[in-house]
Amino acid sequence: MHPAPSIILFTTLSGFGFGLLTFLGLGMPNYTGFIAFVFFAIAYVLAVGGLLFSTFHLGHPERALKAFSQWRSSWLSREGICAVGALIVMAIYGVGRVFFAQHWGIIGGIGAILSLLTVYTTSMIYAQLKTVPRWNMPLTSPLFMALAITGGALLAAQVKIAIFMLIFSAIIQVAYWVMGDGRLAASGTNMETATGLGHIGKVKAFEPPHTGTNYLMREFIHVVGRKHAMKLRTIALVLGFVLPVIFLLLPFGHIFALFAVLCHIAGIFTSRWLFFAQAEHVVGLYYGKR
């Protein structure tokens, strides 16, 4: 798939934002007043900013509001509903924390659940696509959820939880890559099924279907060399998980915590780029590419 910058920014930033909102809803960190305002501001900038980036990839952004009406069948619609619900509920909860030094636990708990549901619905937009076997597998949603919780723990300065989640997320990330590499072949989709000519026999492409590029080739076909992919995976693992754990295990200081957060964000951006760039859409088989 073509790794559009707007989608990478959307899925990464919104994950961090709603992850932080989850921890804030659970009372972590336990601040009130101005410090609480800073944490809520960071969460909202990330969550809302990420959602705004998602509209850049729409063909008709002005029709975005219509997506809310398709909640019965569309994960995109469910994502929008959960996101708005989480932002409204957490805003109410934030007012109590910032202006009244009150922890309205029930409201915060509901907001935390809605925040996690938002991340889950985002993941299902991709996990339910049978045309992209690398996404259409059980580990896609756990990966999104784990990364959101990890990022939220880091931003909320929950060191012990963050260290555990960094290790746990790294395991899921590696497992996702390993399982994903063979998904297209395991799906049974090939040139014969892609062209519908399998009943004749073995199909080989004599010439490309088009003399030039088209929308499908631009959006759904993006080839990443195995050599480059392995280098980027290593970078993602080191930046996103290994270095943050090392920084958090050092004698605690705000500067090391900041380094851990920055490294993790850079690593997740790399991982998320690979998430899209390595996703082989079955339409690529029709054009003789994988």
The per-residue pLDDT for range 182-213, each reduced to its tens digit, is 776 666 666 666 666 666 767 666 556 565 56
Q: What is the pLDDT of residue 215?
A: 46
* Residue type at 91 in one-letter notation: A
- Pair 23, 115 in one domain: yes
Q: What is the pLDDT of residue 147?
A: 97
Per-residue exposure over 241-267, b if at least 16 CB sit within 10 Å of its own CB, e if not: bbbbbebbeeeeeeebbebbbebbbbb
Residue 61 inside a domain? The answer is: yes
- Pair 106, 227 in one domain: no
* Residue type at 29 in one-letter notation: P
Q: Which residues of the chain have pLDDT under 50?
A: 215
Domain boundaries, position 233: 170-290
Residue 193: count other Cβ atoms within 10 Å of its Cβ.
15
Q: What is the pTM of this model?
A: 0.85
Domain count, the chain: 2
Q: Which of 94, 128, 162 is the last residue in one of the domains?
A: 128
- Pair 7, 115 in one domain: yes
- Pair 184, 102 in one domain: no
State the DSSP code for 64.
Answer: G
Tokens of 273: 């780029």
Q: What is the pLDDT of residue 68?
A: 67
Q: Which of 68, 99, 128 is the last residue in one of the domains?
A: 128
Tokens of 151: 């990022």
Residue with the two structure tokens 């754990």: 245
Q: What is the pLDDT of residue 279?
A: 76
Rg of the chain over CA atoms, in angstroms?
21
Residue 138 inside a domain? The answer is: no
Q: Which stretches within the chain are classed as H helix? A: 5-25, 33-55, 75-99, 105-127, 140-155, 159-181, 183-186, 191-195, 215-220, 226-237, 243-249, 254-277, 283-286
| Residue 134 near residue 240, CB atoms below 8 Å | no
* % of the chain residues with pLDDT over 90: 59
Between 140-155 and 254-277, two packed helices, what is the crossing angle to 10 degrees? Answer: 160
Give φ, ψ of 222 to 5 degrees: -150, 115
